[in-house]
Amino acid sequence: MRRKLIFSLALFVCIAGFYAHPLKAEESAESADKKSKKGKISLVEAEPEVVYSFRRYSKFYGDENTARGGLLDRSYLLGSLGGFRDTLVEHGFYFDAGVTQFLQSNVSGGIDDGSGRYNGTADYWLTFDSGKADLWSGGAVFLHAESSWRADKSVSPDVGSLLPANFDAAMPTPGESETIVLPEAYLMQALPANLLVVAGKADYAGLADQNYFANNERFQFFYTGLVNNPILGAFIPYTPLGVALAWAPSQEHSVSLVVVQAEGDATTSGFDNFDGDYTIGGQYQFHPTIGGNLPGNYRLIGGYSNKDLTSFDIDERQLIGELIGVTPVAEESENYTVLVNFDQYLWIDGGSLAAYQKRLDRSGYPGLGRHHLPPVGIGIFGRAGWAPKDRNVIDQFYSFGIGGFGMLIPGRENDGWGIGWSGTHISSDLRDDLDVLGIDLDSFEHAFEAFYNFQLTPAAHLTLDAQIIDPTVKSTDTAYTIGTRLQLDF
């Protein structure tokens, strides 16, 4: 009861802060042109990079880069709907939707090969900007709905790997098709001194573990281990109820703190299933520019959960239950982890860098906004993580690779590409327990992946992808998959 009271109090204080501490950006010359007629500051207009970061997508209808025109030129297939969407934006309402479709085949190895697998998801975003609506400065409400189809028909079960070969098929609920659910609903408020407060249901794990070159299942890698660090799944479920505070004291440094439910899912409000278990996480980000023109991001993440563990903890988006069919006992309580994450440009186009730097100079929250609208160039990325082996299925994780935007095909600066490796270490304590039951696991699950994302139009992108996955179950052969992804923005 005491834990529930503390959590509810923290949530109340943060929500109350939205009204008690209006943004003082009215005094800033940089934000003067972002005021509404009544002098309120629009968070969405003044800090679009923050919106990109929370959505993990580099666009939204109504941002400064929204292109209008013919079908092949505009940013969204539906356009302005005869000016209706522009009218909504004028009153503080931003709406857009996207559909992500996969066609993949496990051509050899794994559990089942030879069959083409089709599945997809749709995302619907509605953002209300309080400053644009002349209510109060620096506030915004975000609603994110999702639907999915043929989730159980993705290529992931054919591969037989611990981590899904198709991460998107595990959203919003693993292996289940959803007509429509509302996994994210949260409030955001900018405060003085470059502070940002968030409260509600949100994808806090996706926000914490961002990366330029390996972080989004809609336009980058398919395999789970090259989208996020899977250790996070044992601590933060998809879209839990929580509170976050982010602070960017300078352009090179930012810190954030989150307190979220340790249990929860995309189909519930969070209030009806909170049993007092929580996770506390913190992240420090360093954003240097090496040699004066090569931006990078370096992150240190720590997490603690008070949840009692009656079995080896595992995120339901990972497939250990389907692989082994039993639940090994781990008689422990509480959990903790340390993670690192980096991305670093090695070469960058000079003109693209100038536009990028202009965005950073404008933003008051550079630590949150440096993950999106990246410059044309080539860089490297990597992740690593550690958690106790006596209570986690995954006690170590590593990934690294190279990626970029443009560069490979002349004249195609809006394309993206990447090549990466992921290594997931399975706890020796878990493997010893399973060995007694006659279940033999390798110490590592390895995955290699390469993708190329073509921009067909500003509203349509087609990705070609190939994976080589060596599952942790020794009796399962190495899987070779190929596939395509079509992303349409409406």
The per-residue pLDDT of the chain, averaged, comes to 86
pLDDT of residue 174: 82
Domain ranges of the chain: 2-489
User: What is the identity of the amino acid at 62?
Assistant: G
pLDDT digits (tens, 9 = 90+) for 176-205: 888 899 999 999 999 998 999 999 999 988
Q: Considering only CA atoms, which of 69, 71, 64, 48 is closest in space to residue 459? A: 71
Most confidently predicted of 42-51, 309-318, 460-469? 460-469
At 192, the amino acid letter reads P
Of 108-112, 263-267, 437-441, the poorest mean pLDDT is in 263-267
CA dist., res. 318 & res. 39, Å (int): 48
Per-residue model confidence as pLDDT tens digits over 392-419: 999 999 999 999 999 889 889 899 999 9
Q: Where residue 20 falls among pLDDT bands split at 50, 70, 90? A: very low
**Residues 402, 159, 231: CA angle, nearest 5 degrees:** 60
Residue 21, judged by CB atoms within 10 A of its CB (0-12, 13-18, 19+), counts as middle
Residue 47 structure tokens = 């800090």
Residue 320 has pLDDT above 90, yes or no: no
Q: What is the mean pLDDT of residues 342-369?
A: 70
Give the max Cα distance, the chain.
71
Question: Which residue type occupies 330?
Answer: A
Structure token digits, residue 319: 């497939």
Note the pLDDT of residue 367. Answer: 54
**For the residues of 403-420, what is the DSSP string, one character each?**
EEES-SSTT-TT-EEEEE
Q: Does position 21 have pLDDT exceeding 90, yes or no?
A: no
Whole-prediction pTM: 0.88
Q: Is the pLDDT score of 27 beyond 80?
A: no
Q: What is the pLDDT of residues 139-172, one digit of tens each?
A: 999 999 999 999 889 999 999 999 999 999 988 8
Helices (H), 131-268: 156-159, 204-208
Between CA 324 and CA 319 the distance in angstroms is: 9
* Predicted confidence (pLDDT) per residue in 413-451, tens digit: 899 999 999 999 999 998 988 888 788 899 999 999 999
The architecture in CATH of the region 2-489 reads Beta Barrel (2.40)
Contacts of 68 (CB under 8 A, 6+ apart): 74, 75, 79, 80
